[in-house]
A and B are shown apart, each in its own frame.
Chain A
C-alpha cells in the first residue's frame, strides 16, 4: 500500500470531509432534539397517562424499535414525506432518526421516572400541587438528571446510525467517504479516516455530556452508573 498516495488523497479531501462532519453533527443534533422533545411527553404519557394513551405509546415504541432504521428511511423519504411536500433528504433523515430516537429516549426517561421513590409525587400532591406541575417541577428535573448516562449512550448510537442516511443522498461523512474513495481509489485510507472522524465526534459529544452532568449534579444525590 502506498502511504504517500493515501495521505495525499486524505489531505486533498480534507475540507470536503470536514464539511461532511458538519452535516453529520447537524443530523445528530437535530435528531436528538426531536427525539427529546417527543420522548419526554411520550415517557410522561406512558407513566401517568390513560390506559388508552399508554397503549398507543406502547404501539409507537414497538413500531419504531422493531422496524430497521433503513426501512424507515426509505419509507419516509420515498413514501410518506414527498406527498407532504418534504423533499429534502436531510429533513427526511432528521425526521426518521428523530422519530426513532424518540422511541428509545422515551424508554430511558420512563425508566428514570419509575426509579424515583413514589414519595416524591405524594409529597408534591400533599402540598396541593396539580399533577402536571408536580411532574414538571419535581419529577422531571430528577428523572432527567438520572437519565444522562443512558442518554449519552443513545447519543453515540444515534451518531453511528446517522451514517445510514447516506442511502438517500445526504452528504454526511460516509457518503463523502464513498465518493472520495471512488475517485481516488484509496478506500482503505478513507475508510480509516472516516472512522477517525466518527471517533472525534463521539469524543466531543461525550465530553460535552460529562460537563453537563457535572454542572447539573445535585450535591449528595446519589446517581447510579457513571459514563
Chain B
C-alpha cells in the first residue's frame, strides 16, 4: 500500500551531510527529502552509514558539513536553545530502546512532557497514558524496564517519542535487537503509524515488511546513497538493482520470500 505523496509539503530536508570519524569518512554528501506522510526506508549493509545519517539528522552526531531544514526552516546545529527545541519536534527510536531504567513505563513517556515541554503533571499523565494505550501497553504503565520484554520496551519507546507530537520520526533499526517472536508486535505499531500518516524514515533489515509500506527505498553503501526509488521499481522482477541483490541476500538468510 503506497501513497502518492509527491505533492505534499516538505517536512525534513537534508543536503550534503558529511561525517568522518578520524580518517573514516562514514557519511558522504547525503541528500534526502521527506514529505509529509512519507515512509522512506534506509537499506544496506552494516557500516553503510544508515545509523550515522539518522543520528546526524537530529544532531546527536553533529555533521561535519551540510544543511538541514525542518518545515522549511533551516536549523543551526550550534545554537543550543534552537537545537533543543528542534529535537522536540523530531522523534527518535533506537535499536537498543534506551528507556530510562529508573522510571516506570508511564514515567518514561511522561518525563519529557513535564521536564522539557513544561506540561502540568496531570495533563502529562493523561497524554502519556493515551500514548501507552495507542501502543497497547496501558496495562503495563506501572512496570519498570527491567520487568518488560524487548518488544514491550520498544513499544514504550515509541509511545515516549509520539507523546512529543513530533513532525517526523527517525527509526534506527527498531527491531534489530529483538528476538524473532517479538518483532511482529513492534512492526504492527509501525504499520499503524504509517497508515495514520506519520512522516517517518527508518533504517531496517525488514525488507519484506517495508516493501509493502514504504514510499521509497534508499539504498546506502559505504556512506553514499547508491540508488533510491519506490520499492515497486527497485524490486521489479526484471530489475538489476543493487537493492534487489541485497534484499535477495537477506531473504536467503531469513527465509523470507522476496
A and B touch in the complex (CB under 8 A): no
